[in-house]
Amino acid sequence: MSIGTKHVDLRQDHWPQITARQSQQCLIEVKVDNCIFCKIAAKQIPSGIVYEDEHLLAFKDINPAAPVHLLIIPKVHIDTLSAVEQQHTELLGKMLALAPKLAQEHGCAPSRQADGSLAGGYKTLINTGPDGGQEVYHLHMHMIGGPKPWRGQR
């Protein structure tokens, strides 16, 4: 099931001859075809890609909340954090582990100052479901950092 995604049921009228199993596959494909982040992962629409490997993509948020605002996504479509399964554990670890590497590359990793104090830093965030503020239903982790002020924060 996909939360917040309106599916067109291709079983009705159009292809009455296909089997139930085939029709379920049709529903899944329509869902992924309509996913903006799947389209970004497939390079069907442009985005400011900053990192790519076999499993993950990271790109600049179109509406940044801070000087550095990146989105880390799995290339495989997963609706939301609540839909992850045991098989995704390694993938989630890779997403989290990518954040400090990107922070380093984008100049927002925490660092020790000459006086011994810490400066810099970033936030990692996965919004989940309507009450969690999730707008795009392809699992993604925000990496937000850079000099403050950030939008909505001091």
Active site residues: 140
135 touches ligand 5GP (CB under 6 A): yes
5 touches ligand 5GP (CB under 6 A): no
DSSP bridge partners of 58: 51, 72
**DSSP H helical segments within 2-111, as ranges?**
20-33, 36-41, 89-105
38 touches Zn ion (CB under 5 A): yes
115 touches ligand 5GP (CB under 6 A): no
- Kindly state the smallest distance separating residue 133's Cβ from ligand 5GP, in Å: 5
Indicate left, alpha or beta for 48 from its phi (over 0: left) and psi (-120 to 50: alpha).
beta
- Considering only residues 65-94, where is the footprint of ligand 5GP by CB under 6 A? 71
The residues that touch Zn ion, with contacts defined as CB under 5 A, are: 35, 37-38, 77, 138
